[in-house]
Amino acid sequence: MICTLILRKMKLIDYLFVDDFGKEYYLNILQIKRLCLLQLNVDLNEYAGSSGLLVNVGHSSLFGFDLHIWRYSVSVDVLSWFCRNLNSYRNEYYTENAD
């Protein structure tokens, strides 16, 4: 019973592309409700920002890092407890940009 409930809520791969002041690519792998095995976010911004590396261990994910170099950034989270809800991103993006 519990196994069938978990399988109904699970998504193997969920992705989203947003073109807003640059290009943003979102990828979630093996998402169960708010738990996600792997989250990947790649941003190709139109405006330059500060460069740096941020390594996260333990707060919202088991391990993660954010790398920002000039206009490009990559964010990776492994076993995240607060997975991005890409459906809410889709709803906000499409309602704001509807003609």
Residue, of 67 and 89, whose pLDDT is higher:
67
Q: Is residue 7 over pLDDT 80? A: no
| Residue 30 backbone zone (phi > 0: left; psi -120 to 50: alpha; other: beta) | left
The residue range of the domain holding 55 is 2-96
Q: In 3-state terms, what secondary structure has residue 47? A: coil
Q: Is residue 40 over pLDDT 90? A: yes
What is the pLDDT, as a whole number, of residue 2?
A: 46
The pTM for the full model equals: 0.73
What is the Cα–Cα distance from 24 to 41, expressed in whole angstroms? 7
Q: What's the token pair of residue 86?
A: 């890409």
Residue, of 85 and 64, whose pLDDT is higher:
64
What is the pLDDT, as a whole number, of residue 99?
A: 46
Structural domain tally of the chain? 1
What is the Cα–Cα distance from 27 to 22, expressed in whole angstroms? 17
Residue, of 3 and 59, whose pLDDT is higher:
59
